[in-house]
Amino acid sequence: MKIRYLFLAVFVAGAALLCRPVYAHGFGERTELPVPLGFFLIGAGAAVGLSFAIIGQFPKGNPGHSSYWRYNLYQHRWLRLALTSPLLLLPLKLVSVFLLGLVIATGLFGDQTPSSNFAPTFVWIIWWVGMGFVVALVGNLWTLINPWKILFEWAEGLYRKSRPGSHISLMRPYPQNWGVWPALLLFLSFTWIQDAFVQSPLPNRVALMTMIYSAITLGGMVIFGKYQWLRHGEAFSVVFSFLAKFAPTEVRVRDPGVCSSCDEECLPPNGECVNCYECFSRSETKELNVRPFAIGLAANENKTNDVLAMVVLLLATVTFDGFSATQIWVDIQTYSVDIFINVANGADFNGRTIADSLGVLFFPVAFLVIYLTFSSLISGSAGSDKSAVEVARTFAYSLIPIALAYNIAHFITLLLIQGQLIIPLASDPFGYGWNLLGTEGYQINIGVINARILWYLSVGLIVVGHIMAVYLAHLISLRTFQDRATAISSQYPMLMLMVIYTVVSLWTIAQPIVA
């Protein structure tokens, strides 16, 4: 059994030798690599496989032990006062709400050329791409500057002043069986808009979508309460909370008594209240900790099917976004246009839109089927009676470093190069010819990162992300299957999955952008 899985993993990586050298992702010029692309792919796959052999020799302690090194920044009184001071927090909140208003105003009343309007560049590049990077690599800043949360808190504060002791929220019980499905549906809609909706770059469409989402988010908080909706219904709070598990910072409450009045069952089996912002906001004995990267993903939490679906959607979404820019997908779009030319031939709805829409739906389903298949193999390798779905839920968080690594490798060019548009747009957000900050004449520097550096960075990120995933899966397997030999045996199918996805990820990143 072990030899079979190892052979398949090596075969997949070796098959990469048949690949031809290609252009680096995001650049039109040829990138001459020191060796053919195939050698990079087999080397990356081999590195992931080797990491499995090395990692398997280390974690041998109590598999249920979940403690890890952390350093409490709040133990320094001056630092705690500085980080919690209204002099810092109020300006951040004002800027966040101002930017939300600016996106709506510029989208509605500004120049409708996307490159001349603040709204598209800010929403699609600076906020969506940039905030994801910050949350994963620094900490969950979103929970502090979420403009809809801030607006709700301000409205609630004013309401309580006029009616002491009352709440602006109806505080209706949130249906337990809903889980994070509302957030998943909203995020899937966001993904469709990003990848399939032809008009998504248009400023007035960005403004309209922002207003609709604002109404949904504020309405959800009014009906179910602020924290309940942010935890379950606000798509970006849910997505960023998953990414924040990778981050090197956490908030922690030391007094479990605070958790007794929490609307959420925030205490995992180890009894530690981590990254529950409702408890953190009310507790006097709280910590802001620095910790190792990705350690939050190894936490012993009960995961439900909706959480599994959201993690798979995150991974599939960023993969489709990259794949949709390759020549293969352009050929699929062309074929779809030919098929549906007599049914859908408009500027906004045509065969290309249909192909992209099906891709947005097909990729998550395909990823889930593949993941469940390998989860079944994991259960069989361990001789466990756990179902494929149970195993898939158990190892779900180990997929997040893969999604994050691919996300950074795929979007870093967009952020570093096209993101520079925000500099002149900051001076002329409406496209009226203003020069408020003196930066209106700024020219984008496309040489900020060259193709060769980008390629090596992408390879490094994806390989490191997969090695982290292998390590997390190993820790989780030790906790799940208890016996070390059984835990290691269970991970051979996971290793094969990691190697396959490493090769596929690097191949996709290496393709020239043609769409």
Model confidence at 66, pLDDT cuts 50, 70, 90, reads: low
Per-residue pLDDT of 407-437, as tens digits, reads 999 899 999 999 999 999 999 999 999 999 9
In a domain, residue 356? The reply is yes
Based on the fold, state whether residues 334 and 211 are members of the same structural domain: no
How confident is the model over 210-236, as a mean pLDDT? 97
Based on the fold, state whether residues 214 and 350 are members of the same structural domain: no
Single out the residue in 213, 232, 248 at which a domain terminates. 248
- Residue 194, pLDDT score: 94
Single out the residue in 248, 265, 292 at which a domain terminates. 248
Based on the fold, state whether residues 368 and 400 are members of the same structural domain: yes
Model confidence at 270, pLDDT cuts 50, 70, 90, reads: low
Based on the fold, state whether residues 221 and 324 are members of the same structural domain: no
Instruction: Indicate if the pLDDT at residue 5 is higher than 60.
Output: no
- Residue 515, pLDDT score: 58
Rg of the chain over all Cα atoms, to the nearest angstrom? 24
Of the candidates 339, 361, 360, the one whose C-alpha atom is nearest the C-alpha of residue 350 is 339
In a domain, residue 253? The reply is no
In a domain, residue 268? The reply is no
Based on the fold, state whether residues 448 and 380 are members of the same structural domain: yes
In a domain, residue 377? The reply is yes
Full domain range(s) for residue 400: 2-62+305-510
Three-state SS across 373-407? Answer: HHHHHHHHHCCCCCCHHHHHHHCHHHHHHHHHHHH
In a domain, residue 267? The reply is no
For residues 498 and 48, is the Cβ–Cβ distance under 8 A? Answer: yes
* Token pair for 492: 């051979």
Based on the fold, state whether residues 431 and 410 are members of the same structural domain: yes
Instruction: Indicate if the pLDDT at residue 149 is higher than 60.
Output: yes
DSSP 207-220: HHHHHHHHHHHHHH
- Residue 268, pLDDT score: 67
Based on the fold, state whether residues 51 and 94 are members of the same structural domain: no
- State how many domains the chain has: 2
Model confidence at 449, pLDDT cuts 50, 70, 90, reads: confident
Based on the fold, state whether residues 179 and 242 are members of the same structural domain: yes
Of the candidates 319, 283, 515, the one whose C-alpha atom is nearest the C-alpha of residue 410 is 319
Single out the residue in 223, 248, 273 at which a domain terminates. 248
Instruction: Indicate if the pLDDT at residue 92 is higher than 60.
Output: yes
Based on the fold, state whether residues 329 and 187 are members of the same structural domain: no
- Residue 489, pLDDT score: 87
71 phi and psi angles, rounded to 5 deg: -130, 120
C-alpha angle 10-15-19 in degrees, rounded to nearest 5: 140
- Residue 59, pLDDT score: 60
In a domain, residue 468? The reply is yes
Based on the fold, state whether residues 94 and 57 are members of the same structural domain: no
How confident is the model over 468-485, as a mean pLDDT? 87
In a domain, residue 162? The reply is yes
- Residue 245, pLDDT score: 95
- Residue 188, pLDDT score: 97
Per-residue pLDDT of 336-387, as tens digits, reads 999 988 888 887 888 999 999 999 999 999 999 999 999 999 999 988 889 9
Per-residue pLDDT of 99-146, as tens digits, reads 999 999 999 999 999 999 999 999 999 999 999 999 999 999 999 999
Instruction: Compute the distance between CA of residue 91 and CA of residue 302 in angstroms, rounded to an integer.
Output: 38
In a domain, residue 454? The reply is yes
Based on the fold, state whether residues 152 and 21 are members of the same structural domain: no
- Residue 392, pLDDT score: 96
How confident is the model over 34-47, as a mean pLDDT? 71
Per-residue pLDDT of 305-329, as tens digits, reads 999 999 999 999 999 998 998 889 9
Q: At what angle do helices 484-510 and 400-416 cross, to 10 degrees?
A: 20
Based on the fold, state whether residues 325 and 217 are members of the same structural domain: no
**pTM of the predicted model as reported, rounded to 2 decimal places:** 0.91
